[in-house]
Structure formats: C-alpha cells, structure tokens
C-alpha cells in the first residue's frame, strides 16, 4: 500500500482531489466511486474549487456511491442522496443521469441491491473508489464479520455505527437500523482505491488496517490484498503507525 502523509485535514483533501482531477483529465468518462461521512467533505470542496478555477469538467463522468440508508427518501437531509447533491453534484457539471446511489427507499431492497451491482458492472467497473474508514474498521457499511465475498447487500448497522453517525440526526432513534452497501467484493474490484483518513480518533483503526491481520473482523484489512491502494492520511491519523 502506498501511504501519503498530509499535514492536516485540508491537505488530505487537496491531495485526494488532485488525484481525482488527474484521473478525470486523463479519462473524461471515468467511473468514480464516492463515499460519504465527514471525511470526504473537504475533498468535495476541493473538487468544486477545481471545477470552478481550472474548468475541470465532469460532464462525462459516472459516479457510484458506496452506500445509502434504508428508509430515507431522497429529500431527507440525512440521506446520502441529499448529502452528495448538496455537497458535490449540485456544484459541478455532472450529468444527473450518470449519478448513482443505491435507493434505500426501494420497495424491493434485494432487487435494488442486484440492480446496483449490475449497473456497476455495466459501467465497466470503478476506476477510482474513494473510501473512508469507520472506527470499527468498516468500509462502506460493511460491518465487522461481513464475509469478504459479499457484493451489494442490505446490512444491519452496528449499534456503534449508529451511535457514531447519530451526530447527523436529531436523535439516535432517527438513525436507520439498516443500509444498502456495496460489498467488500464490489469494492475490491475497483481498479484503484484511495482511502482518506483524518484525526487522532482514527489512528488505531489505521494502524490495524496497515499492520493488523487480514480478517473479516476488521473489514478494511482486506485492502492489504488490493494491488492499487493509496492511503492519504493526516499526521494525527498516522500517529500510531511505525515509520
Ligand atoms: O468519515 P466518517 O464520518 O468518520 O465516516 C467513516 C465511514 O463511515 C461511513 O460514513 C459509514 O458509516 C462511511 O461512509 C465512511 O467512510
């Protein structure tokens, strides 16, 4: 794994954005895998800035998001659909028809998982997948214990994940119990993966990802087996890794 040290959260976003721009400039019809949560917010600000300042165009880009809560409709401000449009898509020239998120409000959720997995394959796979990491080692919403062989599926969220994400909701009771997520197998088929990590509270998880055993008990550890992973982390997040 290639590890790039950023001095802080802002620089982490800048370095990641530069890699996305290089990809889109080299291949305008790139397929990007995108993540939500607090970590990529700075990256999305940098992308919007580059779109405005450097005229980087996303009109031929296709995107697939990692996950979506079950039961939240698109207008719900806590849905990842809303997050992505609010923080990125509404500010760049991407074609709305080429933006993909799982529909957590679908009547048949299993059918929706199958449809989503198929859509990724039909797009010829993901060129660069952006990932964050949960404190318990989850990537997407693949919680500890998820078989590495899983493709897009419905997941029961860990209580610790619901608590960690409760900050975005009025109360913990409003945090959905389930989500749809790309599986580990889906993520591992991405041609390139960029994992962004920031802050002291993620230092232990990053250490386990890099130095720990590859185990389904810590889903992110599978990244050790991917041929093209770049970790962009700030000094705080890297503080528990040996040189
Ligand atoms: O960036 P955050 O908010 O710490 O979240 C970490 C991870 O958790 C998730 O938000 C899911 O809980 C992922 O999408 C994200 O990568």
* Cβ of residue 176 lying under 6 Å from some atom of ligand 1: no
CA distance 68 to 112: 11
- Domain ranges for the chain: 2-238
In tens, the pLDDT along 10-32 reads 999 999 999 999 999 999 999 99
CATH number of this structure's domain 2-238: 3.40.50.1360
Q: Is the pTM of this model over 0.90?
A: yes
134: three-class secondary structure by DSSP: coil
What's phi and psi for 118, nearest 5 deg? -65, -40
- Return the closest-CA partner of residue 136 out of 209, 200, 218, 234: 218
Residue 243, pLDDT score: 62
Contact 16, 196 (CB under 8 A): yes
In tens, the pLDDT along 179-229 reads 999 999 999 999 999 999 999 999 999 999 999 999 999 999 999 999 999
Kindly provide the ipTM of the predicted complex, given to two decimals: 0.92
* Closest ligand 1 atom number to CA of residue 36: 14
Contact 142, 155 (CB under 8 A): yes
Catalytic entry in 11, 85, 114, 136: 136
The token pair at 119 is: 């859509």
In the annotation, is 138 catalytic?
yes
6: three-class secondary structure by DSSP: strand
């Amino acid at each position: 794994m290639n590890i790039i040290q950023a001095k802080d959260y802002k620089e982490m976003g800048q370095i990641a954005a530069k890699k996305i721009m290089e990809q889109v400039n080299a291949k305008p019809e790139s397929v990007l895998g995108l993540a939500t949560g607090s970590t990529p917010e700075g990256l999305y600000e940098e992308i919007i800035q580059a779109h405005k300042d450097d005229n980087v165009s996303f009109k031929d880009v296709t995107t697939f998001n990692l996950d979506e809560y079950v039961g939240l409709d698109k207008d719900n401000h806590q849905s990842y659909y809303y997050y992505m449009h609010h923080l990125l898509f509404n500010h760049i020239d991407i074609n709305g028809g080429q933006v993909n998120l799982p529909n957590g409000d679908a009547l048949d959720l299993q059918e929706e998982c199958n449809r989503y997995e198929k859509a990724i394959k039909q797009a010829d796979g993901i060129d660069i997948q952006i990932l964050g990491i949960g404190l318990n080692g989850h990537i997407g919403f693949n919680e500890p214990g998820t078989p590495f062989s899983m493709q897009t599926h419905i997941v029961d969220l860990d209580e610790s994940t619901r608590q960690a994400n409760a900050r975005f909701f009025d109360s913990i009771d409003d945090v959905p119990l389930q989500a749809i997520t790309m599986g580990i197998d889906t993520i591992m088929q991405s041609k390139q993966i960029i994992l962004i990590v920031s802050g002291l509270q993620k230092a232990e998880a990053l250490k386990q990802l890099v130095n720990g055993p590859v185990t389904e008990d810590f889903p992110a550890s599978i990244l050790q087996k991917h041929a093209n992973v770049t970790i962009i982390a700030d000094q705080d997040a890297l503080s528990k890794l040996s040189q």
